Chains A and B, each alone.
Chain A
Amino acid sequence: KAGVTQTPRYLIKTRGQQVTLSCSPISGHRSVSWYQQTPGQGLQFLFEYFSETQRNKGNFPGRFSGRQFSNSRSEMNVSTLELGDSALYLCASSPTVPGPTGELFFGEGSRLTVL
């Protein structure tokens, strides 16, 4: 099976712009979650989707949003970018037997730099 795929891998934006990151989960995984990884804050939970529904959201401002499509692919969007949004954004999918198991399979991440 192909692993979790994230695109783009690297991107540079300027303050005030918006960005959309994409994640394709492992085939058959219906749960997708997103994490922000920074040297200072570690791995911070952004949100989790299961069967196109957002089940939980982390402590991030409304500028951070996401969605999941019927094929389980997910996107996250960050609007009005700030310098502090520079980070590695990780997507993880989880097998569902029948619900999410908590085992996370990570993508390589999308590294966002905000100038």
Chain B
Amino acid sequence: AQRVTQPEKLLSVFKGAPVELKCNYSYSGSPELFWYVQYSRQRLQLLLRHISRESIKGFTADLNKGETSFHLKKPFAQEEDSAMYYCALYNTNAGKSTFGDGTTLTVKP
């Protein structure tokens, strides 16, 4: 069975502060992990994928297989980063993505 856990439902930081959104997973195969973001009144959209190893909007995420984690980080949070963030694990064989419960990030001025 595959499972994704986002331990924080709510996370609040001040503008300019570092932010880390936690994601842990359990999966017996080789994981493909993603972060999705939903800004207010917008559709859910892909933020980044672990394979691409790119930085999107200043966010990065590193897959740590030893700790089965895929935490999302940004060194200096901006107010426009306020949104709901979902971590997701994709099972290639089953064509199924499992999502965490999401973390609502609020960046205060």
Report B51-106 residues with CB < 8 Å from chain A CB. Answer: 86, 88, 90, 92, 94-102
Closest A residue to B41 by CB, please name it: A108
Pick from A15-23, A72-80, A99-107 the stretch touching chain B.
A99-107
Q: Which residues of B contact A55 (CB under 8 A)?
A: 94-95
Question: How many inter-chain residue pairs (CB < 8 Å) link A and B?
Answer: 54
Chain A, interface residues (CB within 8 Å), range:
20 to 34
B101→A106 contact, CB < 8 A:
no
Q: For B101, list chain A residues within 8 Å (CB).
A: 42
B12 within 8 A of A: no
Please name all residues of chain B whose beta carbon is closer than 8 Å to the beta carbon of A45 when the two chains form the complex: 96-99
Instruction: Report whether A102 and B97 are in contact in the complex, using a CB–CB cutoff of 8 Å.
Output: yes
B21 to chain A, nearest CB (A): 15
| Number of B residues with CB within 8 Å of any CB on chain A | 21
**How near does chain B come to A99, taking the closest CB pair, in angstroms?**
7
Contacts of A102 in B (CB 8 A): 32, 34, 49, 90, 92, 97
Secondary structure at the B interface, as helix, strand, loop or mixed, is: strand
A86 and B78 CA atoms in complex are apart in Å by: 35
Tell me if A106 and B44 are in contact (CB < 8 A): yes
Determine how close the nearest CB of chain B comes to the CB of A57; give it in whole angstroms.
9
Nearest residue, chain A, Cβ from B90: A102
**Cβ–Cβ contact B43 & A107, under 8 A:** yes
Cross-chain contact of A106 among B32, B43, B94, B95 (Cβ < 8 A)? B43
Q: How far is the CA of A43 from the CA of B92 in the complex (A)?
A: 18
Quick one: closest B residue to A3, CB to CB? B43
Can you sample 19 A-B contacts with CB below 8 Å?
A: A3-B43, A33-B97, A35-B99, A42-B99, A42-B101, A42-B102, A43-B99, A48-B95, A48-B96, A50-B95, A56-B95, A90-B44, A100-B95, A102-B90, A102-B92, A103-B46, A106-B45, A107-B43, A108-B43
Binding site for B on A (CB under 8 A): 3, 31, 33, 35, 42-43, 45, 48, 50, 55-56, 58, 90, 99-100, 102-109
